[in-house]
Amino acid sequence: MKAEEGITILKIGGSVITDKSSDDGSAKLDEIERIAAEISRFSGRLIIVHGAGSFGHPQAKRYALTEKFDAKGAIITHDSVKNLNRFVVNSLNKAGLNSVPVHPIGNTVCENGRIVRMFIEGIRIMLKNGFVPVLHGDVVMDTVLGISILSGDQIVPFLAMQLGAERIGIGSAKDGVLDNEGKTIETITSSNFRDIEKYIGASENTDVTGGMFGKVDELLKLCEISSITSYIFNASKNGNVLKFLNGENIGTAINNTGK
């Protein structure tokens, strides 16, 4: 690990590491191990954020957490995602990394569902010393709502801004953002977004945080306030995570230059 290297943020979608058609926490352990092995071959400064998949979305829906405050439902949902996080962290550590669980419930505050503060000093020290922080979509405290559901898709651009990340990849289970013919859209900018918006929708499974539309929306907001390019790619395909980490630009690029 070189201390002067830029920071990479990689999100692994719940659609990749869980069976998202399940309504209660079904992990794809083989996929978690395969991805951990790919990640272990990368030596740069890295933050991992993973989605909640069937460990969070069905629970959040069951307790209607996006509609009303429910303390018990919040705890059950958080506890479930924490189980998935344990699988991810354990697999990464078995693959040879030194990864550390970072649960947003204890370090992040939202206002009406948007992050206003996150305590990131620990993450900075982790990165300096070769640890890999592993965050996840979670239930967090909210100044207005009491609690809200924080998507991993919102955590990624927030950390990218706070830490000045160099490379951002969102691994999901499709070959990027697809058009009406199922072809991967090469680049999305705020100028072509109007034309392709109609092809981008929510998840085909339970996902309370907006599916593919939510990702594109978050990443477009990020490139409006920065010059960072993000990539949405297929992390279910063998080798793609390592390709992204090694600097290959795969899937759909989201940026403000159109290149």
Ligand X SMILES: Nc1ncnc2c1ncn2[C@@H]1O[C@H](COP(=O)(O)OP(=O)(O)O)[C@@H](O)[C@H]1O
* Residues forming the site for Mg ion (CB under 5 A): 207
Give the residue with the Cβ less far from ligand X, 182 or 247: 182
The distance of closest approach from Cβ of residue 212 to ligand X in the complex, given in angstroms and rounded to an integer, is 3
User: Going edge to edge, which strands form the sheet with 108-111?
Assistant: 114-118, 108-111, 138-142, 146-150
Which of ligand X, Mg ion, none has residue 172 at its interface (CB below 5 to 8 Å by kind)? ligand X
What whole-number distance in Å separates Cα of residue 84 and Cα of residue 224? 33
Give the residue with the Cβ less far from Mg ion, 70 or 207: 207
Give the residue with the Cβ less far from Mg ion, 127 or 212: 212
Give the residue with the Cβ less far from Mg ion, 175 or 207: 207
The distance of closest approach from Cβ of residue 130 to ligand X in the complex, given in angstroms and rounded to an integer, is 27
Which of Mg ion, ligand X, none has residue 58 at its interface (CB below 5 to 8 Å by kind)? none
Using an 8 Å Cβ cutoff, are 219 and 254 in contact?
yes
Bridge partner residues of 115 (DSSP): 110
Helix (H) or strand (E) segment spanning residue 90: helix 71-94
User: What is the contact surface with ligand X in residues (CB under 6 A)?
Assistant: 13-15, 51, 53, 172-174, 177-178, 199-201, 203-205, 207, 211-212
Give the residue with the Cβ less far from ligand X, 91 or 203: 203
Tokens of 200: 């981008």
The distance of closest approach from Cβ of residue 35 to Mg ion in the complex, given in angstroms and rounded to an integer, is 16
The distance of closest approach from Cβ of residue 197 to ligand X in the complex, given in angstroms and rounded to an integer, is 10
The distance of closest approach from Cβ of residue 10 to ligand X in the complex, given in angstroms and rounded to an integer, is 12
What whole-number distance in Å separates Cα of residue 59 and Cα of residue 50? 17
Tokens of 245: 């980490």
What whole-number distance in Å separates Cα of residue 72 and Cα of residue 56? 14
Comparing C-alpha atoms, which of 48, 10, 37 is closest to residue 96? 37
